[in-house]
Amino acid sequence: MLLSFSQINYRNLKTPKLDFAKGLTAIVGQNASGKTNILEAIYLAYTGEVLARRIDNLIKHDETEAYVSLIIDSGFAQQKIEIGLSSGYKSIRIDSQNMRAVDLAKEFAAVLIRPEDASLVHGSPSKRRAYLDSLLSRLSLRYALLLKEYNRVVEQRNAALKNHTDQSLPIWTQKFLELGSEIMSLRERAIKRIAEIAQETYSEIASDSKELSLSLQSQGKSLEDLYLESKAEEQQRAITVVGPHRDDIKIFLNNYGVQSYGSRGEARTTALALKVAEYQLLKEKQNHAPLLLLDDFSAELDINRRGFILDLASNIPQAIVTGTELAPKYDQFYQLAGGVLGD
């Protein structure tokens, strides 16, 4: 359970410290009052994931460093997570020991649900890959390390493709096929579980009795075949044009693709179902409920989705819910005004 959050120079936050308790904590504030920043900072400390384009964007204007720390009660002991941010660089410490982001995922889990999640469905394929990679990296240390190696191999392979005198290309191709295939099979297994949970959630929220299904674009094909088919394009463009870094999740309702033919409402419900799947899978892996960070519930105007998500938030051990109005049920609340806190 999250006990407290502190920060120095994180964006334009004026709140140095916030205490939390179990149950639902509501944070009320106008738009641009900093409530999203608080949730993103907490999410950063739980996962090591920087949601801004650059680390520098997280540091207050005119400052060179920022700092975020959390105190978490794990049930046995209190642990302290600290994140240091400086130009282009992020450091992670748990109880004063230097750690990697993958070490955070061993013990801590949080899920952030935001209004812009809808772009998971109608945004570019990179959004869906990022969803999959973030989730799988937190579920499996093996996946996290594989992905890091794979991305490096693709980078090296692309450089070898551009330099025609480099004789090492076949080795990079071999490595690319080896690591890429393993990532594809881990993703394929995961997408089945994600689909099961998302489907259940979708029919719980929507009243349309449509069937949600998910699959990888590459499903049923081996990386080797994809690679052989792409050779002409690869030669022409001198980059690796197939593989997990180019894959996509295809989302269907009954038989039509939600990405192209779904309504806005269907897209939003689908995105929410994907986030609930993330929550459930992390919960299964950790054997305890992740912290739920729900950003701006009041932006959700659909009565079914709003009801579902507030229900979820009030029925789990700990949730932090922000909004321009107060959540209907809460255990404690904070009022934010222009980045400043008052009760």
Footprint on this chain of another protein (rule: CB under 8 A): 145, 149, 152-153, 155-157, 159-160, 162-163, 165-168, 170-172, 174-175
Minimum CB distance to another protein, residue 189 (Å): 22
* Alpha carbon separation from 173 to 133, 164, 167, 221, 305 (Å, rounded): 22, 14, 12, 18, 46
Q: Return the exposure string of 243-254: e unless at least 16 CB atoms fall within 10 Å of the residue's CB, then b.
A: bbbbbbbbbbbe
Q: How far is the CB of 160 from another protein (least distance, A)?
A: 4
Nearer CB in complex with another protein: 153/273: 153
Q: 152 or 264: whose CB is closer to another protein?
A: 152
Nearer CB in complex with another protein: 181/213 = 181
Work out how close the CB of 149 gets to another protein at its nearest, in angstroms, rounded to a whole number: 5
In the complex, least distance from residue 168 CB atom to another protein, rounded to whole angstroms: 5
Of 128 and 157, the one with the shorter C-beta distance to another protein is: 157
* Nearer Cβ to another protein (51/55): 55
The residue among 17 and 100 lying less far from another protein, judged by its C-beta, is 100
Q: Which of 112, 140, 134 is nearest to 291 (CA)?
A: 112
Rounded distance between C-alpha atoms, residue 289 and residue 318, angstroms: 8
CB of 239 to another protein, least distance (A): 13
Least distance CB 173 / another protein (angstroms)? 11
Instruction: Please tell me the distance from the alpha carbon of residue 338 to that of residue 269, in angstroms, as a whole number.
Output: 31
Nearest-approach distance from CB 90 to another protein, in angstroms: 13
* Close Cβ partners of 253 (under 8 Å, ≥ 6 residues apart): 210, 211, 212, 262, 266, 270
- Smallest separation (angstroms) from another protein to the CB of 174: 7
Q: Where are the alpha helices (DSSP H) in the chain?
A: 35-47, 101-107, 119-122, 125-139, 141-162, 169-205, 223-229, 231-237, 258-261, 264-286, 303-314
Bin 76: left if φ > 0, else alpha if -120 < ψ < 50, else beta: alpha
Closer by beta carbon to another protein, 71 or else 159: 159
* Per-position b or e across 102-120, b if 16+ CB within 10 A of its CB: bebbeebbbbbbbeebbeb
> Coil, helix or strand for 85?
strand
Rounded Cα gap, residues 58 and 153, in angstroms: 29
Judged by CB, which is closer to another protein: 176, or 202?
Answer: 176
